[in-house]
Structure 1
C-alpha cells in the first residue's frame, strides 16, 4: 500500500541522515466537491474556502476553531465610543506570495473592491455598512461605518473578506496569490489542487511542506482511497454504511463534530404556489426530519426548526413549530385550493446529503399529493440556475457560512423572501453590540422564519472527520467553512 511505501521511503532517508525517523511532511485530503474557481472573494461555493481559507489567503481577522475572532493581518484593532470608527494596526514585513509587499493600501483596495457597485463578492452585504476606508500610514488603516455594527470584526474574518492585492486580484480565480503559510502550486482540474509551504511566511511556518486536496465526489471511492493510504484525511465526508468499517480500524481517527451548515429544503417564495403560506406550512408538516437525518446524514444531523446553528448560544429550538403531520399537511393544501396536490421540481446538487435527502423528501411530499420531479444538477449548474438565476422550485443545500441568518433580509437572495418585520429585527441586530440583546434579537429572527416556513428547515450538517491516527491539528468542528492546515502535523 502506498502509505507503507511512503513510510519506508521516509525511513531510508532517516537512516541516511541520522538515527531519528523524520515525521512525514505531506498530506492528501479528500473532498467531495471541486471549487468552481479559487477566489474566495468572488464565489459562494464552500469548496473555495475549504481549500484556501487561512492556508493561502488571510483577512484582517480570522475565525478560530472554536468560532472565536482572532488577529490575522491586523495584529490589533480599536473601535471608537460610537462604534463607527475601527482602527486596524497591521502586521509589517508581510509579503504576498508573488513577492509584492502587503500594506494598508491592499486593505483599502480589497474592501473598496468588495463593496463596489460592480462587486462580484457573494457576501457583499458584509461590507454594506462601510462608508469609507482610509490609509493612515502603511501599517494603519481606518474603516468608518455608517452605523455601528457589533459583528464587524467577525465579518472581516469570513473567507469573502480575505485581503487580495491589486497586482493579482484579477487572476486569483486560476492562480490565487495570498499572504498565508501555504502558496498555490497546481490545479489539475477534475482531480486535485496542490499547495506547498510558503517560504518567508510572516507567522509560524507550517509543519506540512505539501498538501493536496483530492477531488473524490463518490464516498464509495473515498473509502478504498483512505484504506489504501492514497488519501490520509477526509475532513468532511459522509461515508454512510462504510463509516462503521472505518471506525473499527485503529489506523484512523473518526471525529463527529458540528458545522455551521443549516441544511434546508430551499423554496422559491415568490413562485406559485410557494408564495402561499399555507402551501409552505403544508410542506413543513410533510417533512419527517428523523427519516431525513437517518437517511441523509447517517443519523448524525441535529434537527433544526429555523436557520440557526444549535451550537450557537442564541439558538432557539423551533422544531415543534410544524411537527410531522401528513394529515394536517393535506388540510392546509385543501385550504390553499390544492386538494388534489400539484407537480413541482426538486433540483439537487451533487452532494450525498442532497441526493439522498431529496429521494426521501420526494417520497414524503408524494404522501400529501405533491409530485416532485428530481433533477440532479452539477455544482456549477446549481450555482448558476438556483443561486444566481433563481430558476427553481425546490432544492436542498447546506448553508455553511457562519451565523448567516441575515441572508433572509437580502431582497435579491435566491429564496425570494420579503418580510419587513424580519428586516427590522436584522436592522436592529446590526446596530446592537450588547451580547444579551443580540441573542434576544436572534431569537426573534429565528421565530419569524420558522412561522413563515420560508424554507423546509431540516438539520444541522454534521462534520464527520476521518484521518490517519498519526495526523493532528485538523479541526474537529467547522465554525467556518475551512480546512485550516496551519497547525496540522504528523506525529512521529
Structure 2
C-alpha cells in the first residue's frame, strides 16, 4: 500500500486514457496519441534545451504572487517560478496523480494521528539571486497568505492550522503563526487542529512557496517575485496579460527531479480570444509553431475540422481533470424535499442529449457517480437510478405518482454563459428529458455573477440548478467534504454544500478517512462514502468534461496528467 510519506520514488509513466465515450456523440474528436506514440515522436526529435516556448491563453496570469494564487496546478505557469514543499508527479495519466517531494526531501512525516507534519528541506536550494532558501522563508510565505491585502489563495491553511482562523498575517501580527515551527534552517513543522492525511497534497499549493522577507514588497510582490524555480520573471505587463520568463541560473536540476525546463525563455500571452488561439496553433506560423495553450479547448466545430486533418489530429492533447458537472437540489425548497421527486428526476435524465449539448462525447463523458472515474479519487462504480443512455421516463412517472406529484411544474436555474457546462444548451437538454416524464420545467437563466451568487447562497439558493465542482488535488477529500460535510455549511458566504446536508454519520466518516495517510485505504473509504451519499439523490451527476487542446508543431515531450488535465509546460521542449 502507498504511504504518503514514502512517495519520493518516481513512478513509471502510465499511458493516459484517451478513449472517448461511444454511442453518445454529437461529434467525434480526432484520434489521440498514446504514450507509445509520444515515445516515437521523442525518438524522431528528442527533447533538447533551448528556444522560446509561447503560451497562448484566454485568462490572464493575474495576481502572480504565491499568496494570491489558488494553486500551482491549473495553468502550470506558477510552478515554473514557485517551488513548494511537495509537487505533483510530472507523468502522464494516473501516474501524475501522485504527490512527490519538491523542496522537501520527502512528502512529509506525520506523527501517529496525522495532526503534525514535519518536513526537511533538501540541501543546496537557492533563489534566483543565489541566496539560500530556508524553512523560515517557507513559514513566512505561508503567513503572507493570511494577509487580507493578499487575499485570493486557498482557504485550507486557515481551517487546518491551529490558530489559523484568527491569524491576520505578518503585516498585522509580527509574532507569526505558532502552529508553524522552524527548529532550524532546514526543518519546518505544521501543527493541525485535527488529523489531515491529505496534508502532503496541500503542500503542493503555492502558499507553500518560500518568500524572502527582506524582499517582500507586499501587494507589489506580484510584479517581480523572487524565483525558487527554474525560471524567473523578467517582465510582467498588464497584471499577467503578458509574462516573460527566463532561466534562473541558480536553479539546479540536481534538487528538482520534476521540472525539465527545456526552453530558455517562456513568453506567456493572455487575454486572447479562444478562436484566435486555436487558429494560431493550427496554422503554426513563426513563433506559434512552438506554442501551447493551457486553458483553451477545441470546440465541436473545430474538432470536426481537426478530425479531417491527420497532421492537426496528431497535435491534439487530451486530458481529464477531477471535475463533475451535475444537477443540484436544495431539499429545503419544495418539492425537492421529497426524495421520490429527486429520484424521479434522476431516472428521467437523458445523458446522451446532455452530453451532446455539452459538445459531444469528445468533450464530455457520462457520470452516474459524484467522484470522477479515477482510482486516486476512490471512484466506486454505482448507478442508484439507472436511466440508461436516454433516460427512463416510465420509472420517473411511477415515482411521481407514488409521491402524489403528477404533472409537476418546477424551475431549473442555469447560467447564461456559453460555457457548455452550466449553459442554456445543457439546461434545455434537461428540460426536454423531464418533459417526457410529465415534468414541466421553466428555465431561469442568470448572468454568470448572479448565477454563482445564487447557487453559493445557503439562504437564497434555488431548489433546482446546474452546478459543477473540481478538486484541488486528486483525492476524495476535496471532492466530498466541501459538498457534503455539514460543518462546512456557510450561512453568510460561499456555501458549496448545496443540499445543506448535515448528517452526523457522514461528518464522522469524513473525519475518520481524513486520519488516514495510506492513500489506497483512504480511496476505498471515499468511494464507499460517495456511494452511500449518492443513494439519497441529493444531486444528479451528469458528466465529466474532457479537454482537447492543440499544441504547436515544434512542441515535443507532451505530458498530461490526471491531476491537472492540461499539458504540463514544465516538461515540453521546442527544439
TM-score range, shorter chain: 0.7 to 0.9
- Kept in 2: contact 1:121–1:160 (CA 8 A): no
In structure 2, do the counterparts of structure 1 residues 213 and 419 end up closer, same or farther at CA, with 3 Å as the change threshold?
farther
| Other-structure match for 2:281 | 226
| Other-structure match for 2:470 | 399
Alignment partner of 1:124 out of 152, 155, 161: 155
Alignment partner of 1:107 out of 118, 138, 150: 138
1:196 aligned to 2:245? yes
Q: Equivalents in 1 of 2:131, 2:527: separation in Å?
A: 46
- Kept in 2: contact 1:348–1:358 (CA 8 A): no
1:56 aligned to 2:86? no
- Kept in 1: contact 2:76–2:570 (CA 8 A): no
1:245 aligned to 2:327? no
1:28 aligned to 2:54? yes
| Other-structure match for 2:552 | 468
In structure 2, do the counterparts of structure 1 residues 37 and 48 end up closer, same or farther at CA, with 3 Å as the change threshold?
farther
Which is further off, 168-177 or 323-332? Answer: 168-177
Unaligned runs of 5+ in 2: 1-47, 91-95, 163-178, 254-259
- Kept in 2: contact 1:465–1:476 (CA 8 A): no
In structure 2, do the counterparts of structure 1 residues 344 and 385 end up closer, same or farther at CA, with 3 Å as the change threshold?
closer
| Other-structure match for 2:522 | 438
- Superposition map of 1:176-325 within 5 A: 178-184=227-233, 185-188=235-238, 192-204=241-253, 206-208=261-263, 209-218=265-274, 220-229=275-284, 231=288, 232-235=291-294, 237-247=297-307, 248-250=309-311, 252-268=314-330, 270-300=332-362, 301-312=364-375, 314-323=378-387, 324-325=391-392
| Other-structure match for 1:143 | 190
- Kept in 2: contact 1:63–1:69 (CA 8 A): yes
1:134 aligned to 2:195? no
In structure 2, do the counterparts of structure 1 residues 340 and 357 end up closer, same or farther at CA, with 3 Å as the change threshold?
closer
Q: Equivalents in 2 of 1:354, 1:426: separation in Å?
A: 28
- Kept in 2: contact 1:56–1:178 (CA 8 A): yes
- Kept in 2: contact 1:261–1:401 (CA 8 A): no
In structure 2, do the counterparts of structure 1 residues 424 and 67 end up closer, same or farther at CA, with 3 Å as the change threshold?
same
Shift of 1:430: 0.6
1:80 aligned to 2:107? no
- Kept in 2: contact 1:90–1:104 (CA 8 A): yes
In structure 2, do the counterparts of structure 1 residues 217 and 310 end up closer, same or farther at CA, with 3 Å as the change threshold?
farther
Q: Equivalents in 1 of 2:540, 2:269: separation in Å?
A: 32
- Kept in 2: contact 1:181–1:486 (CA 8 A): no
| Other-structure match for 1:3 | none
In structure 2, do the counterparts of structure 1 residues 115 and 411 end up closer, same or farther at CA, with 3 Å as the change threshold?
farther
Which is further off, 225-234 or 456-465? Answer: 225-234
| Other-structure match for 2:489 | 411
Cα distance per residue 1:390-448 (max 9 Å; x no partner) = 86532343515322222222222323332322212111101123445323311222113
In structure 2, do the counterparts of structure 1 residues 249 and 462 end up closer, same or farther at CA, with 3 Å as the change threshold?
same
Q: Equivalents in 2 of 1:487, 1:174: separation in Å?
A: 25
Shift of 1:212: 1.6
Which is further off, 239-248 or 92-101? Answer: 92-101
- Paired residues, what number? 465
- Superposition map of 1:445-464 within 5 A: 445-464=529-548
Pick the structure with more strand per residue: 1
Q: Equivalents in 1 of 2:151, 2:542: separation in Å?
A: 30
Q: Equivalents in 1 of 2:561, 2:185: separation in Å?
A: 36
Alignment partner of 1:69 out of 84, 90, 99: 99
Unaligned runs of 5+ in 1: 1-21
In structure 2, do the counterparts of structure 1 residues 312 and 163 end up closer, same or farther at CA, with 3 Å as the change threshold?
farther
- Kept in 1: contact 2:298–2:550 (CA 8 A): no
Q: Equivalents in 1 of 2:211, 2:359: separation in Å?
A: 36
| Other-structure match for 1:14 | none
Alignment partner of 1:345 out of 413, 416, 424: 413
In structure 2, do the counterparts of structure 1 residues 269 and 107 end up closer, same or farther at CA, with 3 Å as the change threshold?
farther
Shift of 1:126: 5.6
Q: Equivalents in 1 of 2:426, 2:221: separation in Å?
A: 34
In structure 2, do the counterparts of structure 1 residues 116 and 371 end up closer, same or farther at CA, with 3 Å as the change threshold?
same
Cα distance per residue 1:343-398 (max 9 Å; x no partner) = 342125553444343443344345521212223426xx666564478865323435
- Kept in 1: contact 2:85–2:102 (CA 8 A): yes
| Other-structure match for 2:5 | none
SS at match of 1:54: helix
**TM-score, normalised by the number of residues in structure 2:** 0.69
- Kept in 2: contact 1:33–1:217 (CA 8 A): no
- Kept in 1: contact 2:278–2:550 (CA 8 A): no
SS at match of 2:75: helix
